[in-house]
Structure 1
Amino acid sequence: MTRTYLVTGSASGIGAATADLLAAQGHRVIGVDMHDADIVADLTTHEGRAALVEHARDLSGGTIDAVIANAGLATESTATVAVNYFGALATLDCLRPLLAGSSAPRAVATASMASLFPVDDELVDACLAHDEPAALHRAKELLDEGAGGLIYSSTKRALVRWIRRSAATDEWAGSGIPLNGVAPGIIRTPMTATYTATEESRKAVLDMVPMPLNGIAEAETVAHLIAYLTSVENTHLCGQVVFIDGGSDVVIRGESTW
């Protein structure tokens, strides 16, 4: 059965691998990115998010079978907050009405194992309060304080908490939409190129993100997981954040599941 998928961040990395895999399976894929995509949109802005919804409605004919909110940044910047949390939520929430026409609607967001790292609670709380001005302001304060390294992990922590809060609600599970997330470890993509280019850099990043099972992964590995989570076969996974990280979650958290 041919399905229609929308994938943000489709021009490179996990998004490109997912779009390619789904297309190879015979599905229709609507790619969204800042360039080289069916929909060119800047998810850091309200205008870009509105354009995404408008063009998605037009290109899909009003029905999408699965939304994959994959676009993200890993820079120490306010833009990382705007894309990773508020852009992801806008993608999922604003496109949810287009899932209503599908017989098997699905939704997935790309988080990160970095959600296990230290975070800034004030930034996480501002995100979860859906207060974008406050979140951007706090991110700017962190940058001024030399603590910009907390921004990425904070956005991903907020995102996984939103998934857990939202998945079992009437809007998602009650409407027959499995909402889940994936939490990759170090994946060989343009975003991580500086960490994976040399043996020395790979050793350094794996000291921080231990991946005892097969080490650094290819983007296609995550794409296959996303493809399952958004497939017709996935009928009961609800609010799960699946760590596809070569074991870093296990090393860091041990036997704890929380």
Structure 2
Amino acid sequence: MRTVVITGSASGIGQATRQVLEARGERVIGVDLHDADVEVDLTTVAGRADLVEQVSALSDGRIDAIVANAGLALPLPATVAVNYFGALATLDGLRPLLAGSPAPRAAATSSMASLHPCDEVLVDAMLAGDEAKALARAAELVSADQGHLVYASSKVALCRWLRRNAPTPEWAGAGIPLNAIGPGIVVTPMTQDLLTTEAAREALAAQVPMPLGGYMTPDVPARLLAWLVGEENTHLCGQVVFVDGGSDVVIRSDSTW
């Protein structure tokens, strides 16, 4: 039986992924602020360290896959702390526990927002590993009424980190496929405030066109995450797979990257 760690497991995509994996007989160690096997705050250094300690204890030091899914979509510095630094702490912190697995896998939840405009100063601070600078820059953007750039920037940085690290000895060299999904609009508690009125839905549709199927339920990206961390996935490396109802192809046309 495979053991998979999922952050953000109490709701949305994380909860749906847990259900998919458990339905096929896998053990899931869920991580969240509440209603989880491991309850920690990934905005803090202490919480990230506690994550590794608790998962190590619960798994006897061996897991088969990591799903770094926890995230925020708020125009706040905390979004940077969770979406980028929390995700990296999850992936790098738990990676040693994959060593004993015959089929180790790792995946993260990015977003089609990684195709949107971002703040390069913020992205560079994240990629440099300077959390204090990144949080300060995010606060500056919020104060300048540019808080909408925070979420997209966190996902751009995550995708760039993933592309740079997936083929390295620590990941591909250790036989660990590392990839991400890039969902379009998923109907979850995180997005509910964006979908409260018809005007809001129309405005969002203009930003995130989804000609195939419209907005999706969490089980759709969950099934893709489940495949990415499954034994069948042997050769995807550093890919951001867009499950977005067509947003990527509408926005970027025939550009494949």
Q: What TM-score do you get using the length of structure 1 for normalisation?
A: 0.98
Secondary structure at the counterpart of residue 141 of structure 1: helix
Which amino acid is 1:80 matched to? T
After superposition, where does 1:56-71 map in structure 2 within 5 Å?
56-71=55-70
The answer for the alignment partner of 1:83 in structure 2 is 82
Structure 1 CA distance for aligned equivalents of residues 127 and 120 of structure 2: 10
Structure 1 CA distance for aligned equivalents of residues 201 and 11 of structure 2: 21
The answer for the alignment partner of 1:31 in structure 2 is 30
Which amino acid is 2:250 matched to? V
Report whether the alignment pairs 1:165 with 2:157. Answer: no
Structure 1 CA distance for aligned equivalents of residues 20 and 58 of structure 2: 20
Cα deviation, 1:152-195, whole Å, max 9, x if unaligned, reads 00000000000100000000000000000000000010011122
Which amino acid is 1:156 matched to? K
Please report how far the alpha carbon of residue 197 of structure 1 lies from its aligned counterpart in structure 2 after TM superposition.
Answer: 3.5
The answer for the alignment partner of 1:187 in structure 2 is 186
Equivalenced residue count is 257
Give unpaired runs (5+ residues) of structure 1: none
The answer for the alignment partner of 1:128 in structure 2 is 127
Cα deviation, 1:221-250, whole Å, max 9, x if unaligned, reads 000000100000100000000000000000
Structure 1 CA distance for aligned equivalents of residues 212 and 200 of structure 2: 18
The answer for the alignment partner of 1:145 in structure 2 is 144
Structure 2 CA distance for aligned equivalents of residues 204 and 138 of structure 1: 27
Structure 1 CA distance for aligned equivalents of residues 172 and 233 of structure 2: 13
Q: Which moved more, 1:194-203 or 1:112-121?
A: 194-203
The answer for the alignment partner of 2:245 in structure 1 is 246
Moved over 6 A (4+): none
Structure 2 CA distance for aligned equivalents of residues 130 and 146 of structure 1: 25
Which amino acid is 1:121 matched to? E
Structure 2 CA distance for aligned equivalents of residues 180 and 51 of structure 1: 24
Structure 1 CA distance for aligned equivalents of residues 151 and 207 of structure 2: 15
Secondary structure at the counterpart of residue 29 of structure 2: strand
The answer for the alignment partner of 1:199 in structure 2 is 198
Structure 1 CA distance for aligned equivalents of residues 145 and 201 of structure 2: 25
Cα deviation, 1:82-110, whole Å, max 9, x if unaligned, reads 00000000000010000001000000000
Secondary structure at the counterpart of residue 25 of structure 2: coil
The answer for the alignment partner of 2:214 in structure 1 is 215
Which amino acid is 1:190 matched to? P
Secondary structure at the counterpart of residue 75 of structure 1: coil
Please report how far the alpha carbon of residue 71 of structure 1 lies from its aligned counterpart in structure 2 after TM superposition.
Answer: 0.1
Please report how far the alpha carbon of residue 16 of structure 1 lies from its aligned counterpart in structure 2 after TM superposition.
Answer: 0.4
Q: Which moved more, 1:246-255 or 1:199-208?
A: 199-208
Please report how far the alpha carbon of residue 208 of structure 1 lies from its aligned counterpart in structure 2 after TM superposition.
Answer: 1.2
Q: Which moved more, 1:241-250 or 1:198-207?
A: 198-207
Query: In angstroms, what is the RMSD of aligned CA positions?
Result: 0.8
Structure 1 CA distance for aligned equivalents of residues 229 and 256 of structure 2: 24
Which amino acid is 2:73 matched to? A
The answer for the alignment partner of 1:42 in structure 2 is 41
Q: Which moved more, 1:198-207 or 1:165-174?
A: 198-207
The answer for the alignment partner of 1:111 in structure 2 is 110
Report % sequence identity.
63
Which amino acid is 1:116 matched to? L
Please report how far the alpha carbon of residue 135 of structure 1 lies from its aligned counterpart in structure 2 after TM superposition.
Answer: 0.5
Which amino acid is 1:49 matched to? R
Q: What TM-score do you get using the length of structure 2 for normalisation?
A: 0.99
